[in-house]
Amino acid sequence: MRFGLLAKFSIISAVVLLFTMTVFTFFNIMTLQKAFMDIYASDVDSLSETILRTTYNAMLSGRTHEAYEAMEQAGLQEGIVNIRLIDKGGIVRFSLIPGEIDTYIDKDSDSSCQVCHKDEALLTDASIMDRTRVFETADNTEVMGMTRAIFNQPDCYTGGCHYHPPDANLLGVLDLVTSLEGITGKVAEYRKNVLVELVFLVLALAVCLYYLITRLIISPVNTLLEQTRALSRGEWRLVENAPHDEIGELANAFNDMTLSLKKAREERERWAATLETKVEERTRQIREMQSVLVRSEKLASLGELSAGIAHELNNPLTGIILHASILDRSKGFPEDLRDDLETITGEAQRCARIVRNLLDFSRKTEPQKSMASINQVIERALDLVKDLSVFHNIKIIREYSIDLPDVLVDSGQLEQVFINMFVNASQAMEEGGILTVMTGLDPGGKWVLVQVRDTGKGIREEYLGKIFDPFFSTKGAKGTGLGLSVSYGIVEGHGGTIEVQSEMGKGTVFTIKLPV
């Protein structure tokens, strides 16, 4: 048996409503019944107090028959079942039921005694609820019993006609039993009214839910179902007047899907109509890819050739460094030329490192890392390039952060990176400009940041994704295309990154991140 969406919603809503309203009604009736009982118990207690005050003078003067007559008159009121006067010895001195007079009341079996004799100790100051009991009589009538203790007062033990000693506390008990028929009738009437209201409320909610579910859910879902069936028949129809809710979002998504399917079908038809053209286009693309592969193989060969050349250059550079060292130790070498000799030695060693980096381009080597200040590494690189002719019209601005932590780097490799970037920046500012070098920490404190900013001509947007590729250069015959590629490899070998931003006519910014 198939249940529709409306049936499921109706059944679930009905069950939830019935359960909720039943629990609510139950607790409501119980609360009202307790309130009625509390009020009725208070009224009965007040009545027992009135009886005691009415009979007080008669009992004090020893006119017990007048007190008993007053109790008999009080017992004529509607709802009073019995009035008993029990002395402290448990003997019934008065009762509306004649057979109970002069009988003994056992405190362990009689309910009127148990309210005060619950424990071993006697309760001389019990609350109204502690002195109240509800039970059924022999004819199955539900009644309420209210017990009130009669305490020994000065008038009782000082009067000449009384024998109560002063140390006696309790003289007796007044037990008043009243019918609960009125209370139970009111509760039953209230229960019936609440049940009737509950039925009407459930019916009203059911009608409203039926209308809302049909209007807001079932009808839009049926519309979507019909549109889906139409779509399966090849009819490109859209859902109109979609509501502004989740169903409306579903309808809009259905419309988007319909348009996408229609577009895909039209695209497929166009592909089928122009298959030959597409095949030719694909063949052309394959040929272009083959050309790229051929160029890549040539570039790979060029890389191997460069590695061979770099290997060969190591020998003359080694000779230069060796002879420079011999001259440096020679006592006859002019002292005024020793600074130039040190420059020759340093530059030759740097060339040797560059050659090694060129070899590293095709054969990765691990950097020789040690703790170093990034500001000092940058400053050594600037000292090597600032006196070059290309820097004569360039203003260098240093914005170093003085509280940077040292980083674990190969200082020589990083000097090469910064020298390469400074030279590239100077070549981009042929007419002069400003070179700004900034250092700092990222907000999270996990990266040391170095920014190299120039005010040169900038890099075209289409070149930004290629400048780190090997042998790619925008300098024509002046560049080898290895500088940024080697720099990228060095920074990556240190666990860092290089990012570039550029705008034509305004300059370029390289950002280097090194892990702390």
Does residue 313 share a domain with residue 415?
no
Does residue 429 share a domain with residue 286?
no
Better pLDDT: 123 or 465: 465
Residue with tokens 């590239």: 424
CA pair distance 72, 53, nearest whole angstrom: 15
Does residue 374 share a domain with residue 356?
no
Does residue 459 share a domain with residue 328?
no
Per cent of the chain over pLDDT 70 is: 78
- Residue 110 confidence (pLDDT) above 70: no
Q: What is the pLDDT of residue 296?
A: 47
CATH assignment of the domain containing 163: 3.30.450.20
Does residue 142 share a domain with residue 110?
yes
- Does residue 75 belong to any structural domain of this protein? yes
Q: What is the pLDDT of residue 1?
A: 46
CATH assignment of the domain containing 334: 1.10.287
Does residue 127 share a domain with residue 15?
yes
Q: For residue 453, give the nearest of 488, 499, 416 by alpha carbon.
A: 499
Q: Which range is most confident: 44-58, 110-124, 254-268, 351-365? A: 44-58
| pLDDT tens digits, 219-256 | 777 777 777 777 777 776 776 666 677 777 777 777 77
- Does residue 232 belong to any structural domain of this protein? no
- Does residue 52 belong to any structural domain of this protein? yes
Q: What is the pLDDT of residue 121?
A: 46
| pLDDT tens digits, 138-185 | 788 888 888 888 876 665 655 555 556 665 567 788 888 888 888 888
- Residue 399 confidence (pLDDT) above 90: yes
Q: What one-letter code names the amino acid at 378? A: I
Does residue 168 share a domain with residue 21?
yes
Q: What one-letter code names the amino acid at 440? A: G
Determine which of 161-175, 280-294, 348-362, 466-480 has the lowest per-residue pLDDT on average: 466-480
- Does residue 306 belong to any structural domain of this protein? yes
Does residue 359 share a domain with residue 336?
yes
- Does residue 25 belong to any structural domain of this protein? yes
Long-range CB contacts (within 8 A, 24+) of 163-167: none
- Confidence band of 389 (pLDDT split at 50, 70, 90): confident
Does residue 136 share a domain with residue 116?
yes
DSSP assignment of 231-249: HHTT------S--SSHHHH
Does residue 328 share a domain with residue 477?
no
Does residue 280 share a domain with residue 399?
no
Question: Quick one: average pLDDT of 383-396?
Answer: 85
- Residue 40 confidence (pLDDT) above 90: no
- Residue 400 confidence (pLDDT) above 90: yes
Q: 454, 428 in Cβ contact below 8 A?
A: yes
CA pair distance 471, 161, nearest whole angstrom: 133
Q: The domain containing residue 355 runs over which residues?
A: 274-364
Does residue 424 share a domain with residue 353?
no
Q: In the structure encoding, which two tokens stand for residue 458, read together?
A: 């900038």
Q: In the structure encoding, which two tokens stand for residue 427, read together?
A: 């070549």
- Residue 509 confidence (pLDDT) above 90: yes
Beta-bridge partners for 17 = none
Question: Quick one: average pLDDT of 378-404?
Answer: 88
Question: Quick one: average pLDDT of 389-413?
Answer: 89
Q: For residue 410, give the nearest of 421, 420, 418 by alpha carbon.
A: 418
**CA angle, 25 as apex, 20 and 28 as ends, to 5°?**
125
Question: Quick one: average pLDDT of 55-75?
Answer: 80
Q: In the structure encoding, which two tokens stand for residue 181, read together?
A: 């028929």
Which is it for strands 507-515 and 497-503: parallel, antiparallel or unpaired? antiparallel
- Residue 357 confidence (pLDDT) above 50: yes
Mean pLDDT for the chain? 78
- Residue 362 confidence (pLDDT) above 60: no
- Confidence band of 515 (pLDDT split at 50, 70, 90): very high
Better pLDDT: 38 or 59: 38
Q: What number of H helices and E strands is found in the chain?
A: 12, 12
Beta-bridge partners for 399 = 438
| pLDDT tens digits, 115-142 | 555 554 454 556 776 778 888 887 888 8
- Does residue 481 belong to any structural domain of this protein? yes
In total, the chain counts a number of residues equal to 516
- Residue 477 confidence (pLDDT) above 50: no
Which of 126, 158, 187 lies at the terminal end of a domain, its last residue? 187
- Confidence band of 196 (pLDDT split at 50, 70, 90): confident
CA atoms within 13 A on the CB side of 217: 12
Instruction: State how far the alpha carbon of 283 is from the alpha carbons of 267, 280, 287, in Å.
Output: 20, 5, 6
- Does residue 126 belong to any structural domain of this protein? yes
Q: What is the pLDDT of residue 313?
A: 75
Q: What is the pLDDT of residue 167?
A: 59
Q: What is the pLDDT of residue 113?
A: 62
CATH assignment of the domain containing 375: 3.30.565.10
Per cent of the chain over pLDDT 90 is: 9
Which of 134, 165, 187 lies at the terminal end of a domain, its last residue? 187
Q: How much is the CA Rg of the chain, to the nearest whole Å?
A: 54
| pLDDT tens digits, 281-326 | 788 778 756 754 554 454 455 556 666 666 677 778 787 888 778 8
CA pair distance 434, 456, nearest whole angstrom: 8
Question: Quick one: average pLDDT of 498-510?
Answer: 89
The tally of domains found in the chain comes to 3
Which of 187, 210, 240 lies at the terminal end of a domain, its last residue? 187
Determine which of 124-128, 144-148, 198-202, 467-471 has the lowest per-residue pLDDT on average: 124-128
Q: In the structure encoding, which two tokens stand for residue 246, read together?
A: 């989740």
DSSP assignment of 281-295: HHHHHHHHHHHHHHH
- Report the chain's terminal Cα–Cα distance, integer Å: 69
Residue with tokens 């051929």: 294
- Does residue 83 belong to any structural domain of this protein? yes
